Structure 1
Amino acid sequence: MQDKSEKTLEATIARITSSGDGEPEPSRSQTLASAWRDLRYGFSQHELWLQLGWQDIKQRYRRSVLGPLWITIATGVMALALGLLYSVLFKIPVAEFLPHVTVGLIMWGFIAGCIKEGSEVFIANEGLIKQLPSALSVHVYRLVWKQTLFLAHNMVIWAILMLIFPRPLGWDLALVVPAMALLIVNGVWVSMFFGIVATRYRDFSPLLEALTQLLFYVTPIVWTTETLYEQGGAVSERAAIAKLNPLYHYMEIIRDPLIGKPIEWENWIVVGICTVVGLFLAMLAMRRWRFRVSYWV
């Protein structure tokens, strides 16, 4: 038997399909304005993508006792193992290093999910794209919403760590809210841009997955730039090079207030610039190719 959420989802899809509540015809022109209207119209269909994203999680953990908590448990175990191991290798106190690794892994789960699943977002939703009259961005919002729910689950680990290793957080903690908002907005453009490109060029998805794995090692998640600076010489120069990685700045705007480190506004400036440039690239891709996605899938 179907549960209540499945019936609600089917009713929502049926209402949109029967009413023909699709994208307005004027927005089908190949302009940046029409691409922006797609993003706005897709967001206005929040009832649909909120239910779809929640249904994705329920389907994934159907008949599981702990459900989505398995993701939290897996992330917590990974953070504990890596934190204990690398704190010994780098000779950093566990109370200082474990929160650094934990928050890094939590953020990385969201980032990697938007990149890797984003490249498959339209291919995975082939049926809905061909049958449901909705904006293309609905499928992107669905994915980002699902990743946001996973992120919220994993933040329980951070809360537990703060109880075990208390530290003064201060008013800087309030910056987590705009930082998370920026991360979610970037998740939207990343999923949209890579989703369109990977749908057109199917070899792009496995290449992107390999590059994502490489990015994990060059981003300060299980290591810190402070450790490199302390070693001095050529190693300290590599720390400066590490800051050329945009993901470093995305990590820091969220991790710094969560673990009580001083805020560096340079990170916010870089993230802001990357967000604007990324949204523009995604809209360019939408302007040119979004009406071809239904044929490519």
Structure 2
Amino acid sequence: MSLLPTRRDWTLAGRDLTRGFAAWNIWFLLGVSDIRQRYKRSRFGQFWITLSMGIFIGGIGVVYSALFNQPVAQYIPHVAVNMTVWTLISGVVGDAANVFTQSAMYMRQDALPKTIFIMRLIIRNIVVFAHNVVIVPLAFIIFGIIPTPLVFAAIPGLIIVILALFLITLILGVLSTRFRDLAQITQNALQLLFFITPIMWRSDQLSAGRQIIVVLNPFASLLQLVADPLLGIEPQPHTYIASFTFIAFLLVLALPLFARFRARLVYWL
């Protein structure tokens, strides 16, 4: 049996993507409903997202600024921006392995486009991101930081990040539905990525010989596309090059994989 997708596989996969994106009302409502269900009957409701992140950033910012000997007024805004962006990235990647298994009830009942469930996951995490991003201007106001016009460069950076996350979810969703251990592997990999990605530390703190840690980490490039403009730093050309190279790699892997095994997903649930 060939592992390469046939012409029919490509046609059905393309139709799935087209119909899935067009059904924005379904995946938007599903994503928002997930957040509402998570905080159902809670007194503060969805504001717990912002409150929890604010407490985390405040606590970690004070402790780590002392450990790294960094001024609190500079370090906490740095952590606020990077943690907000990283939470979006890690939230999508961490849930990507279960994107189809969590939607098994819908997939078994109706032949809905599989793309709907990927977008449901992304929308759910974008809603969380929207709650968390409120902390960034609050941190700027508290510590007297004036944003620069570079903040608008974070918008195309965010679009690039979402595209990469969509492809990552496509890959992990298909593979993890077949190989369930991949979900645990992904969680462990995210823990490692957290420490080797410039979230709690700045890349310029590394010596020249250790910059390779950031250069070879595609998630560092994705993080910097959004975080750097918010901090008034212009993303370097190599950051865009690394991000687009990573997306090209994901495209080459994700599209044939989805086309070939899309129809088998419901049997693997």
Q: Determine if the alignment matches structure 1 residue 296 to structure 2 residue 268.
A: yes
- Which of 91, 97, 104 aligns to 1:113? It is 91
- Per-residue deviation at 1:276? 2.6
Q: What is the match of residue 105 of structure 2?
A: 127
Q: Determine if the alignment matches structure 1 residue 281 to structure 2 residue 253.
A: yes
AA matched with 1:82: I
Q: What is the match of residue 231 of structure 2?
A: 259
AA matched with 1:112: S
Q: What is the match of residue 213 of structure 1?
A: 191
Whole-angstrom distance in 2 between the partners of 1:153 and 1:60: 14
TM-score scaled to structure 1, two decimals?
A: 0.85
Is the partner of 1:125 in helix, strand or coil? helix
Q: What is the match of residue 153 of structure 1?
A: 131
Is the partner of 1:38 in helix, strand or coil? helix
AA matched with 2:92: C
Whole-angstrom distance in 1 between the partners of 2:55 and 2:103: 32
Whole-angstrom distance in 1 between the partners of 2:223 and 2:15: 30
Q: What is the match of residue 8 of structure 2?
A: 29
- Which of 51, 58, 66 aligns to 1:80? It is 58
- Per-residue deviation at 1:277? 2.2
Whole-angstrom distance in 2 between the partners of 1:123 and 1:171: 43
Q: What is the match of residue 47 of structure 1?
A: 25
Post-superposition Cα deviations, 1:11-41, rounded to whole Å, max 9, x if no partner, equal xxxxxxxxxxxxxxxx99212x542332221
Whole-angstrom distance in 2 between the partners of 1:182 and 1:205: 24
Q: Does structure 2 retain, via aligned residues, the 8 Å contact 1:199–1:293? A: yes
TM-score scaled to structure 2, two decimals?
A: 0.93
Q: Does structure 2 retain, via aligned residues, the 8 Å contact 1:167–1:259? A: no
Q: What is the match of residue 218 of structure 2?
A: 246
- Which of 209, 212, 218 aligns to 1:237? It is 209
The runs of at least 4 aligned residues of structure 1 exceeding 6 Å deviation read none
Whole-angstrom distance in 1 between the partners of 2:238 and 2:143: 28
Q: Does structure 2 retain, via aligned residues, the 8 Å contact 1:122–1:139? A: yes
- Per-residue deviation at 1:81? 1.6
Which runs of structure 2 are paired with 1:140-179 in the superposition (5 Å)? 140-179=118-157
AA matched with 1:286: F
Whole-angstrom distance in 2 between the partners of 1:263 and 1:204: 33
Q: Which runs of 5+ in 1 are unaligned?
A: 1-26, 230-235
Larger radius of gyration: 1
AA matched with 1:256: D
Q: What is the match of residue 272 of structure 1?
A: 244
Whole-angstrom distance in 1 between the partners of 2:33 and 2:7: 29
